[in-house]
Amino acid sequence: MSVVLEATERVKDKNSTLTKIRQAGNIPAVLNGPNQSQPIYVNSADFLKTIRTTGRNGIIKLAIQNNQHSVMLQEVQTDPIKSEIIHADFQIVNMSTEVTVDVNINLVGEASGVKDGGVLQQSIHSVSISALPTDIPQVIDVDVSNVEVGDVVTLEDIDTKGKFTINQDTSQVVASVLAPRQEEEISTGEEQEPGEPENLEGRETNESEEG
């Protein structure tokens, strides 16, 4: 489902003009297409609301005057101090042509190995995929419920449902359950306790030798 986002053309790219656009509560942006690169701006509040609705890789209907374009958010620039979006790039997409995007990986379920005291570790948090614009998932859920201590989940284990292709090495580990270390630490601590008198005796011997 696509959401309509209103955009306005902008003519000049001078810093003073961009500052005024931002001060008015808008985000300077560029609409990129096969034969065009059009400077525009969008309302900041509308933009954030749209992205929350569609997701980072969702299809947006960008309305400029009387024209509508099916677009995807290509890139955003954020102010590192204020954490505010200061620029956005939109890419016109052909709904019948595959695109390549990065999608976040989300682990779901409680791993069996964790119940046994293991530690769940996620090695990859996003993956590059190719898919038709309408088939791009907002997030890829990976069920780890049946993962035991010592088991690993790889990209190959992800069910694409035939809707997208993974572009990375599918042998890459997504998640694993590490063996518990707690028992080892406890036993090590217990072994150190009876060793303390020996250390004290050693110090006394050294002190007597020094004296």
Instruction: Give dist(CA 10, CA 22) in Å, integer.
Output: 12
Residue 202 belongs to some domain of the structure: no
Residue 193 belongs to some domain of the structure: no
CA 136-141-143 angle, 5° bins: 150
Asked if the model's pLDDT at residue 200 lies above 50, the reply is no
Residue 198 belongs to some domain of the structure: no
Residue 141 belongs to some domain of the structure: yes
Residue 62 belongs to some domain of the structure: yes
Contact 139, 103 (CB under 8 A): yes
**The CATH number of the domain where 179 resides is what?**
2.170.120.20
Residue 85 and residue 29 in one domain: yes
- Look at residues 33, 68, 93 and tell me which one is the last residue of a structural domain: 93
Q: What's the sign of the alpha-carbon dihedral 89, 141, 53, 86? A: negative
pLDDT digits (tens, 9 = 90+) for 81-127: 988 999 999 999 999 999 999 999 999 999 999 999 999 999 999 99
- Domain total in the chain: 2
**The CATH number of the domain where 88 resides is what?**
2.40.240.10
Residue 200 belongs to some domain of the structure: no
Considering the chain, what is the average pLDDT of its residues? 87
Residue 89 and residue 121 in one domain: no
Residue 196 belongs to some domain of the structure: no
Q: Looking at residue 12, what is its pLDDT?
A: 64
Q: Looking at residue 25, what is its pLDDT?
A: 96
**Which structural domain range is residue 21 located in?**
3-93
The closest alpha carbon to 70, from 100, 39, 31, 116, belongs to 31
Instruction: Give dist(CA 68, CA 7) in Å, integer.
Output: 10
- Look at residues 93, 117, 132 and tell me which one is the last residue of a structural domain: 93
